[in-house]
Every structure is written in C-alpha cells, then in structure tokens.
Amino acid sequence: MRRPNIIFILSDDHAAHAISAYGGGLNHTPHIDRLATTGVRCTSTFCTNSICAPSRAAILTGTWNHVNGVRTLHDRFDGTQDTVAKRLQAAGYQTALFGKWHLGQGGSSDPTGFDRWCVLPGQGAYWNPAFHTPEGKIQVQGYVSDIITDQSLAWLEGRDQQRPFMLMLHHKAPHREWEYHPRHAHLYPEGTIPEPPEATFYDDHSGHATAAKMAKMRLEDMQEKDLGAPIPTGLSPRDEHRWRYQRYLARYLRTVQSVDDSVGRVLDWLEAKSLREDTIVIYTSDQGFFLGEHGWFDKRFMYEESLRMPFLASWPGRLPQGVVNDDILLNTDIAPTFLEWAGIERPAAWQGRSFVSCLEGRTPRDWRDAFYYRYWMHKDGAHHVWAHYGLRTRHHKLIHYYADPLDTDPAGCLADQSPEPPEWELFDLRKDPFELTSVHDDPDYAAIRDELTVRLHREQAAVGDRPYDPAEAARGRLERAEREARLYAGAIPAWRVLGPFPGQAGKLKLTTTTPIESDLIAGRGVALPDGIRDLQATAGTQAFVDLDKVLGRREYAICYAVHAWHEPAPRRVELAIGSDDAVEAWLDGTSILRVDGERGYTVGENRVRLDLAAGPHRLVLKIINYREGWGFGAMLDVLPG
C-alpha cells in the first residue's frame, strides 16, 4: 500500500470550544468542521504541560518534558534528539515546517529533520512578519496566517510528486494579542457572544486552592493592549467584566477565523490536485485556552479548558467519517501515530502510544483511563501560576501545587518573594464538570483521594518523573546557587539604562533608530527627548536586568544599556549576551553582535570573543521589546591564554 501523505496543522491557544464542530456555540469554523464531517473528532485529547514550547516538544518527540528537556518557556530544544520529523525523513518522506516553532533559535535549537523550514522567530508578528530560515532572515509583507499558508502551498506545489510528504503547518494564531485580519472585522459583534455559565464566569475561586486565587489571569488583569481599546469608565464591576469578555472574545474569535480560512485553502488544494484520499489531514492546537471560564484568559492550569486540545483527523476512505472518539489521547501520542501511518516502528524510548486503532474504531482493551500532567513554571512574572502536577482519570482530577520552582526558576520569577505552602485539589468531574469546588478535604472523598494519590505516584513513576521532595528540593537549590555563582562570575552588574523609546507594532525592527543612537554609540553626550529616562540598573538573578521593572511594562519599545569600565591590562574575553527580545551590541563604537526577532531570555545565548586592550571600554546594548517580557543580561568571561 502506498504510504499516506500527512498534513499536520497546529494552531496556538485554540480552545476546542471555539470550533463549531465541538458545539461550543461561540463561532462558526466551516473548514475545520469539514475535517469533523469527513473524519474523526476527538473529545478527550489532552496536553501533558499546558504551555506552548513544552507542548510542541512533546508533540515532536513523543516524550514528557522532563525527558525532552523543554519544561518551561525558557528551555531551548535540543535538536540532536530523536523526533518524528527525523524518522519520517529517514524513511523517505519529504518533510517541511512553516510557521511557529518557538523552541529556540540558532545552533541545535533550529528545526531538524525537515527538508525545508521557514519559521517565526519566537512568537513572531501578526503583520509583515520576519522568518528564520536556513539561509538567514527574511521578511514577508502581509498577514501571518495567510503567509504561512502561502508558503506551505508553494512548497507542496514544488515537491517531488513521486514521494510521500509530511507538512507541519504551524499557525501563530490565535495567540495573544489577537490581531485579526480586517476581512473578519464584521464577525462576532460585541454584545452578541454567549457567555460561559454564570457560576464559572463569575468564579471567585473560593472553592479552589490559593494558587487559583493568586493567578493573574482574570479578565480584569487584561490591559488595554490586549483589548485593543480604552476601558470604559463608570461601569459597575459586573458590567466591566462582561465588557472585557465581549471585547476579548470578539478579537480572539476573529483571529481564529484566519486559521479556519487556512484549513479551507489546504483542503481545497488537496481536492484540486486529487490528493485528498492520499492525505491524512490533522488539525489540533498546542493546548487549550480559558475563554472566560473561572473568569480567566490564558492556560497553564490543569483545569479542563486549558488541558483539553482539539483534535480532528480526516483520511477519506481509511478513517470513519463523522465519528466522535472519546478515548484519552495525549500530545505525546501524536508522533507514534504518525510513524504507524508511515509504517515505521516506534522507538523504544518514546513514551507516547499510537492511537491509529482508536481513530479506526478499534480501541485496545488496555488503552489508558488516566494520565499524568506537570506544569513546571512557578509564579512566572506575568501570570503567577504555581508549579503543579496531577492525575486526570475519567471521573476525577487530583492536583498537587508543590509551590517550588526547583531548578526552573526563570528570570523575573516571583517565587522567592512570597513563598507558600504546598496545596492539593480534588475534583469530581461528574458532579462538578466546571471544577468549581475542590473536595480534597471532604471526608466523603477520603477513599477516592487516597486511591488517586497512589495512582498519581504510579503514573508519575511510569513516565520517569518523581514526587516533590522538600529536602531534595532544598539540596537542589543549594547546588543551583553554587552553580550559578560559578556561571555568573563574569556577570556585568551595573548598567545605565536609557528609554523607553516607543515603537510601532508591525514596523519596529532592530534597524529602527532613535534621536540619541548615533551619539550614544560614539560616546558623545546625548539630549534626551521628553519622557525618556536615564536610570541606573543592577542585574539580578541569572545576570538579568528586568526592563519591565526598570522602565515599566512596555510593548514595541526600544531602550539602550551602557556599561563603561577600565581594563588594567590586555586580556582575551568572551562576551555572552541574552535578551528578550532583539539586541544589538557595540563595543567602543563598533557593532559586534546583532540578533533580531522575538525570543525569551536565555542566559548567555549569544557569544562573541574579544581581545580587549588595556584602558577604557564602553559597551552599548540596544534592546527591543516586541511583546510581553523585556530584559537582558551580559557576562564577560575570561578566556585562557
């Protein structure tokens, strides 16, 4: 039998209940619905860590995040490890990836196993985005969902028609900031969008652990940039809550529509080329998303709306049509499933399991009835969600908030500012489907709680993870402190910071200049425009200068950081710089490093070797923030010889 083609369409933060085939009643997605009509719609597909980069790593490798090394947004993917793309490529498949990657950039973090790839740096931009390719950076005019689709179809047109292909079409949309295309501006008028049930929409979290109460994910935590409009004054708290929801959902659902358009274009192309029956088309998202449930937006928590992924698969003539599957499927199962379709044996080290038989209506008797979840980031600076792990069965969910960053504490983390004791939650999903009231301390659930705790530890051990141990964590923190003391011995502690200079979304680039730039680089005196500050800043944890704290949270902005010092004698050094987002560095007036694009902070990500003469030196950094976090760090490490 001829091996099938595979098209894997992955969106970002697309909640299943924002697909009309799932019956949420929020919007209409006619093209994604075509996959449900001609294939299988899965209702119990879950991620094992509800955050972008870790879920993508799990999809590629078929492993949990403590195995593949991408536990948090700050971890870079090690491209030397085994992936589904490498396996398919080695078996003769043509492979390509277009769109969002979000697993690091440069070196071994670039995509591997693909004959062609063209990916957004970091989150990427909705309009006129830059792309990272093996040949370097390119910039394309237009709207990102349309561009990624154009690139994918162009590659399909030029492929070797005698060989099967696997295309990964990865959309940025509908990730925050929810910038929709004007052609969808008329859709979903504000005030007409159905609200979640009142109990969850106005959830005060009185039935939850402290972790839920402390999270900064409420609709009230949204800023004007999220909503795209000033917040009206004079509204009651309840009316403002509803206004925020309507504004948020209108923008989110309109952004979803561009993804639905993309799916339609791909299906139409396959039909026009008579390839539909030779091609498996999958649509999914890296995780779910809160659409007002619990009064929230975003993801991260182990609650259903965040945990559940949409998953639709269509292969006319081979998969059932119009069928709903309720088996528990995981993101770690996707890679093994692809290999079975391609007739390739699953590597023994992969932890996921192919669900081809489930999609065909032949669910194995030993198929899972529970799974293990772990979210590793603890109290990140933006959302404050606690690190936790847990077990979900068909009818119950047990969650342990262990309240410790362990060795994953990212720059800007709030973990050490307000330590909290660990807590547990237990939900009865049959009686409490919206997860409003934990019954962990209810005596009537004592037997269930004890049984689930044992099962949790068993499932945890089965994937090679282990329970939280305070003593072990304390030893780990001490070891980490010692490692960091050695690692950051050359950290540059003191900086002069000038900014912020405002930029324009979609137009701000590293080449964008400011009135003071040339004088600052040359070491001449500068006259600061109104509103621009000249401040002193000190690097903190991981050599990091948190510009959000120094200058205030700003998006699409520029700042400069200056460090001057005197070398008593010549020496050879390595300058290591990390930044969130883009950075350019000048030493004594000469450009020595340029890295554009969106990315999170990684300590010492970019390195350049320098021969420093005795005497004064001046390092100037230009740091651009495109979205969300903003900061930098630099170290001067002495080289031997």
40-46 and 329-330 beta bridge pairing: parallel
**Predicted confidence (pLDDT) at residue 591 exceeds the cutoff of 90:** yes
- Report the pLDDT averaged over residues 423-439: 99
Nearest partner of 288 among 304, 266, 276, 277, judged by Cα: 304
pLDDT of residue 597: 78
Contact by Cβ (8 Å): 602, 74: yes
- Report the pLDDT averaged over residues 537-559: 87
Secondary structure (3-state) at 544:
coil
For 277-286, 310-319, 520-529, which range has the lowest pLDDT when averaged over its residues? Answer: 520-529
Mutual orientation of helices 52-61 and 334-342 as an angle, nearest 10°? 30
- Measure the CA–CA gap between 275 and 269, rounded to whole angstroms: 8
Contact by Cβ (8 Å): 45, 310: yes
pLDDT of residue 307: 98
User: Position of tokens 């230009």?
Assistant: 622
109-121: pLDDT as tens digits: 999 999 999 999 8
Residue 134: both structure tokens together: 């093996």
**Predicted confidence (pLDDT) at residue 93 exceeds the cutoff of 90:** yes
- Measure the CA–CA gap between 465 and 400, rounded to whole angstroms: 14
User: Residue 557: what residue type?
Assistant: A
**Predicted confidence (pLDDT) at residue 411 exceeds the cutoff of 50:** no
pLDDT of residue 599: 78
pLDDT of residue 413: 54
590-595 and 557-567 beta bridge pairing: unpaired
Q: In this structure, what are the phi and psi dihedrals at residue 534, rounded to the nearest 5 degrees?
A: -125, 105
**Predicted confidence (pLDDT) at residue 292 exceeds the cutoff of 90:** yes
pLDDT of residue 341: 98
Average pLDDT, the chain: 94
Q: How confident is the model at residue 326 (pLDDT cuts 50, 70, 90)?
A: very high
User: Position of tokens 């779910």?
Assistant: 288
pLDDT of residue 94: 99
pLDDT of residue 164: 98
Q: How confident is the model at residue 416 (pLDDT cuts 50, 70, 90)?
A: low
Contact by Cβ (8 Å): 244, 215: no
- Report the pLDDT averaged over residues 220-225: 90
User: Residue 314: what residue type?
Assistant: S
- Measure the CA–CA gap between 235 and 246, rounded to whole angstroms: 14
Secondary structure (3-state) at 555:
coil
4-45: pLDDT as tens digits: 999 999 999 999 999 999 999 999 999 999 999 999 999 999
142-151: pLDDT as tens digits: 999 999 999 9
HSE on the CB side for 353, CA within 13 Å? 15
460-496: pLDDT as tens digits: 999 999 999 988 888 877 877 777 777 777 899 999 9
**Predicted confidence (pLDDT) at residue 415 exceeds the cutoff of 80:** no
User: Position of tokens 């309240």?
Assistant: 403
pLDDT of residue 366: 98
**Predicted confidence (pLDDT) at residue 505 exceeds the cutoff of 80:** no
- Measure the CA–CA gap between 173 and 11, rounded to whole angstroms: 6
Q: Who has greater pLDDT, 625 or 486?
A: 625
Go through the domains of the chain in sequence order and give each one's CATH number. Answer: 16-174+197-462 (3.40.720.10), 489-638 (2.60.120.260)
pTM for this entry: 0.85
Percent of the chain with pLDDT over 90: 81
Nearest partner of 110 among 88, 80, 130, judged by Cα: 80
pLDDT of residue 426: 99
Q: How remote is the C-alpha of 585 from its chain's centroid? A: 28
- Report the pLDDT averaged over residues 520-548: 89
Nearest partner of 464 among 52, 68, 54, judged by Cα: 68
